[in-house]
Amino acid sequence: MAIPINKTPPTIMHIDLNSCFAIIEQQANPLIRNKPVAVAAYDTPGGMVLAASYEAKALGIKLGVNVRQARELCKGVIVLMPDPAKYRDAHRRFRRVLGNYTSDVTPKSIDEFVIDFNGSPAIRQGRALTDIGYEIKDEIKKSLGEYVTVNVGIATNRCLAKLAANLHKPDGMDVIDAANLRETLATIELTDLPGINVRYEARLNTAGIYTPLQFLAANGDHLKKRVFKSKVGMDWHYRLRGWEVDNVIWGRKSYGHQYALSNKTTDRQKLSQLLMKLCEKTGRRLRGSGHTASGIRLWLSFTNHQYWAKGKDTKNQMYSTQDIYLQAQKLLNQVVMPDNVTNMSVTVYKLVPGYPEQLGLFDSLPAGQAGTRIDTKALARAADEINDKYGEFTVMPAIMANMDNVILDRIAWGNVKDLY
């Protein structure tokens, strides 16, 4: 059965902040407006650019370029380190503005939201979504600042709304509906479609699909059985026709932290120190969410572009930083390092709500004696309470002494569930 193009009026809006980190910095400091600005993970020559202002982007400075390369492209580029507290504040203000229009607002990352206006008061009043979009742009300027601009995309599903938001930057407003769908798809490449990366593009190419219009014309069963070899193919068939397949909310499945080493090394003592800090940050979030975990994964990458990764299930539920660190260190001890470590991450998974009550077989000391699971749990809670009151790392494991601010606060890519 042929699936038709969705001809219902668009009700999905995708909004994202243009060059989020850079534009917030230009809003904060009027002296750097209309200048090339790059926000980099570190302001040292090897630091990676995370966000660039439109003036910097016009000179080729973008995500993935390092500071040395950025200065070669533009000698006068202003390089800043990130200010996560400010970006989180901007995100919350953004969220409050959108919440004035409907409760169905979903954050996709620190700087983008999806709003479903279906059944909202605005739709019931007969207002055009483009009018609402322009009004939101004004309200965001009032809340975040006059220099802040957003892109707005409107369509019948999340994928096409995001595509619409990407069509004209900065400060764009675009609608994709049944009337202009083909005309819009004719102007873009396959990798412009949200979710189609170079690997998917290659897979489509081997099936003779080179353009979005060819992708649209492809048979759904063929995409499912031959091209993607899964329901992903049929999802794309529906998605390109404007039908919604992406309004799924995924629960939290893991907590983790990653660190890009500023001083690359094979020194196991230094790596253990960094590992402890990653485990402490992970543990704080795990405990704060009221979960324990029984899976852990360690990942390292090296200067020679190789990587090492291993995950394992733990016999006991992990709760305290020590629980997590013990397992992570065991994994680290298995690593044979071919070169200096460049990145390291720890992730805990198999989350279970609640606190660890089930004692391990060898946790046989009476309660209250050092080393028991009950003691460890109480110690973790006490340390968390002190850190909540006086600031992060007021109390920390001894191995982390003299680390100062080695692992800095950063904004994660993707979901921002922890902000709420």
Binding site for other proteins (CB under 8 A): 24, 27-32, 35, 43, 75-80, 85-86, 89-90, 145, 387-391, 394
Nearer to other proteins, 80 or 196 (CB): 80
What does DSSP assign to residue 66?
A: B
Q: How far is the CB of 288 from other proteins (least distance, A)?
A: 14
Nearer to other proteins, 343 or 387 (CB): 387
Residue with tokens 């220099």: 147
Nearer to other proteins, 145 or 397 (CB): 145
Q: How far is the CB of 145 from other proteins (least distance, A)?
A: 6
Q: For the purposes of burial, counting CB atoms within 10 Å of the CB of 391, is it exposed (0-12), middle (13-18) or buried (19 or more)? A: exposed
Q: How far is the CB of 74 from other proteins (least distance, A)?
A: 9
Nearer to other proteins, 368 or 391 (CB): 391
Nearer to other proteins, 49 or 275 (CB): 49
Nearer to other proteins, 49 or 161 (CB): 49
Q: How far is the CB of 65 from other proteins (least distance, A)?
A: 16
Q: How far is the CB of 282 from other proteins (least distance, A)?
A: 20
Nearer to other proteins, 31 or 336 (CB): 31
Q: How far is the CB of 356 from other proteins (least distance, A)?
A: 26
Nearer to other proteins, 77 or 154 (CB): 77
Q: How far is the CB of 20 from other proteins (least distance, A)?
A: 13
Q: How far is the CB of 3 from other proteins (least distance, A)?
A: 47
Backbone angles phi, psi at 363, to 5 degrees: -85, 70
